[in-house]
């Protein structure tokens, strides 16, 4: 089998090029804008990859677009892609304290959400485990309540 015929090699080359663009000091703004545009397109069929790829850069605009897909997702796919991107971004400490607070509140809200798939809830739990100390009081209080309860 020739090198070019291996399954996934073409995708790997394209993704490697995208990572280089997202990491380039001059090209990254255009690459981030392109990914955000793809993620905002409701007819797009690759929403997970479009947003998840923004995990490779700590750029402020990339963080904005990832968190924007959590606040007002284009689709379930872009929401899931944003969660995936956040796992790596949280591990690298890419977010501000305010952004960590927002992300924690989204993740806590997912834990009891029966509409979301188990994968999203698993990612939410993973994100919460990685959160830095000092979560906002309301988020910390919610984490101490038993699953399925909504009261004080």
pTM to 2 decimals? 0.82
Q: Per-residue pLDDT tens for 38-83?
A: 999 999 988 899 999 999 999 999 999 999 999 999 999 999 999 9
Amino acid 144: pLDDT:
52
Would 65 be classed as within a structural domain?
yes
Tens digit of each residue's pLDDT (9 = 90 or more) over 137-151: 555 555 555 555 555
Look at residue 149 and tell me if it is in a domain.
no
Spell out the residues 6+ positions from residue 108 whose beta carbon is closer than 8 angstroms to its own.
124, 128, 139, 142, 143
Q: Tell whether 151 is covered by a domain.
A: no
Q: Is residue 3 part of a domain?
A: no
Alpha-carbon distance values, 128 to 8, 103, 108, 148 (Å): 33, 9, 8, 17
* 113 falls within a domain: yes
- The burial of 139, by beta-carbon neighbours within 10 Å (0-12 exposed, 13-18 middle, 19 or more buried), is given as buried
Instruction: List, in order, residues 6 or more apart from 130 with CB less than 8 Å away.
Output: 87, 90, 91
What element of type H or E holds 22? helix 9-23
Domain presence at residue 106? yes
- The pLDDT value recorded for residue 152 is 46
Range of the domain at 25: 8-144
Structure token digits, residue 136? 């906002």
Averaged pLDDT, 125-130 = 87
Q: Which of the two residues, 55 and 116, has the higher pLDDT score?
A: 55
Q: In this predicted model, which residue has the larger pLDDT, 66 or 115?
A: 66
| Structural tokens at position 52 | 């998840």
Would you state the pLDDT for residue 130? 87
pLDDT band per the 50, 70, 90 thresholds, residue 99: very high
Phi and psi angles of residue 100, each rounded to the nearest 5 degrees, phi first: -60, -40
CA distances from 61 to 73, 123, 128, 141 (A): 16, 23, 23, 31
The pLDDT mean for the chain works out to 85
How many separate domains does the chain show? 1
Whether residue 130 lies inside any domain: the answer is yes
53 or 8, which is more confident? 53
In a domain, 152, yes or no: no
Q: Which pLDDT belongs to residue 126?
A: 87
Question: What one-character DSSP code corresponds to residue 53?
Answer: G
3-class DSSP assignment, residue 69: helix
């Amino acid at each position: 089998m020739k090198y070019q015929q291996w399954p996934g090699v073409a995708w790997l080359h394209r993704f490697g090029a995208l990572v280089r663009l997202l990491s380039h000091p001059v090209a990254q703004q255009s690459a981030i804008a392109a990914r955000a545009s793809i993620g905002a397109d409701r007819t797009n069929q690759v929403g997970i990859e479009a947003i998840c790829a923004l995990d490779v850069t700590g750029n402020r605009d990339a963080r904005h677009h990832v968190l924007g897909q959590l606040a007002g997702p284009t689709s379930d796919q872009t929401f899931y892609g944003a969660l995936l991107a956040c796992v790596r971004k949280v591990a690298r400490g890419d977010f501000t304290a305010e952004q960590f607070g927002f992300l924690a509140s989204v993740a806590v809200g997912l834990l009891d959400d029966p509409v979301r798939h188990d994968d999203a809830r698993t990612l939410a739990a993973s994100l919460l485990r990685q959160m830095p100390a000092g979560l906002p009081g309301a988020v910390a209080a919610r984490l101490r309540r038993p699953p399925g309860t909504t009261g004080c």
